[in-house]
Amino acid sequence: MRKKIVAGNWKMNLDYQEGISLFSEVVNMVKDEVRGEQDIVVCSPFIHLYGISALAKDANNVSTGAQNIHQEESGAFTGEISAKQIRSVGANYVILGHSERRAYFGETNELLAKKVDIAIKYQLTPIFCIGETKEERESGEFFSVIKEQLTQGVFHLEADDFENIVIAYEPVWAIGTGLTASPEQAQEVHAYIRKVIGEQYNTTLADEISILYGGSCNPKNAPDLFSQADIDGGLIGGASLKSRDFTDIVKVFN
Ligand code: PGA
């Protein structure tokens, strides 16, 4: 059975104290209100990770993750953070290939493949983001863009490793814009992603992989999106900064 997952992406928001308060609120709300088996992940800026990972130890189903790592083990890379360092504070996940990293920091599929490898080596589950731009959607080439991102970013993995990653479909035109893919549009792409994984590996493995939707997901649209056959949860940006909204999205799976 594949996992239902709701992951928050705080991006570059919240100072340390604000992050600790928000995480504590989420943990308390989850404890009181969440009854399902869904996994909940909060991907914070690096500075919060030690503090929130300590709080997560007593929290049912809540894990923590980073939003990026460097592709090398260690060394003279001033200002960077390694997979081993992230793992050492108790985080379990890392978002890789977010469209903001691809667009503003020049991250290519080739670089991301290396980050995926080092994440897996240090037992961090990659939440590997893929998705097309507005132009690619309008020109109809989005399926080939998505296939290329998968092929170059994660299809080098052996099946044993691939089964431990999470895919997030995030159409770039829907991120932070208030525009959401319709449940049908999202389902169409999620089914395609599962089909391509089935062709690369096998259908049993494709069936086990959690594929999250991301892009202006909120408590209103999450129920319709998450009820689609191939959508196993969400990667939540803006709405993860409010404990009520984030918890309400998690509760879609109650
Ligand atoms: P959004 O961000 O929910 O604010 O659109 C999603 C993401 O970038 O992961």
Q: How far does the chain reach from its first CA to its final CA, in angstroms?
A: 17
pLDDT score, position 90: 97
Answer whether 170 contacts ligand 1 (Cβ < 6 A).
yes
- Per-residue pLDDT reduced to its tens digit, 2-61: 999 999 999 999 999 999 999 999 999 999 999 989 999 999 999 999 999 999 998 878
Calculated CA dihedral for residues 191, 197, 198, 200, nearest 10 degrees: 150
Q: How far apart are CA 165 and CA 161, in angstroms?
A: 7
Tell me, yes or no, if 138 is annotated catalytic. no
Which residues form the domain of 52? Answer: 5-253
The Cβ of residue 55 has, within 10 Å, a number of other Cβ atoms equal to 18
Mean pLDDT of 170-181: 91
Q: Which of 98, 100, 136, 190 is catalytic?
A: 98
Q: Is the pLDDT of residue 174 over 90?
A: yes
Q: Is the pLDDT of residue 1 over 90?
A: no
pLDDT score, position 109: 97
Structural domain count of the chain = 1
Q: What's the gap in Å between 238 CA and the centre of ligand 1?
A: 6
Q: What's the gap in Å between 172 CA and the centre of ligand 1?
A: 9
Q: How far apart are CA 216 and CA 247, in angstroms?
A: 15
Question: What single-letter DSSP state applies at residue 92?
Answer: -
Would you place residue 241 in the very low, low, confident or very high pLDDT band (cuts 50, 70, 90)?
very high
* Amino acid of residue 186: A
Mean pLDDT across the chain: 96
Q: Is the pLDDT of residue 176 over 90?
A: no
pLDDT score, position 58: 83
Distant-in-sequence contacts of 59-64, Cβ < 8 A, 24+ apart: 59/27, 59/30, 59/31, 60/30, 60/31, 60/34, 61/30, 61/34, 61/37, 62/26, 62/27, 62/30, 63/39, 63/91, 63/92, 63/93, 64/90, 64/91, 64/92, 64/93
pLDDT score, position 25: 97
Answer whether 238 contacts ligand 1 (Cβ < 6 A).
yes
Tell me, yes or no, if 170 is annotated catalytic. yes
**Whole-number Cα distances in Å, 119 to 42, 94, 109:** 17, 7, 15
Q: Which of 107, 132, 136, 170 is catalytic?
A: 170
Of 60, 117, 124, the C-alpha closest to 89 is: 124
Answer whether 215 contacts ligand 1 (Cβ < 6 A).
yes
The Cβ of residue 145 has, within 10 Å, a number of other Cβ atoms equal to 17
* Burial class of residue 164, CB neighbours in 10 A (0-12, 13-18, 19+): middle
Q: What's the gap in Å between 19 CA and the centre of ligand 1?
A: 17
pTM of the model: 0.97
Query: From start to end of 111-190, where are the E strands?
Result: 125-130, 166-169
Q: Is the pLDDT of residue 63 over 80?
A: yes
- Per-residue pLDDT reduced to its tens digit, 119-145: 999 999 999 999 999 999 999 999 999
- Per-residue pLDDT reduced to its tens digit, 70-121: 999 999 999 999 999 999 999 999 999 999 999 999 999 999 999 999 999 9
CATH of residue 182's domain is 3.20.20.70
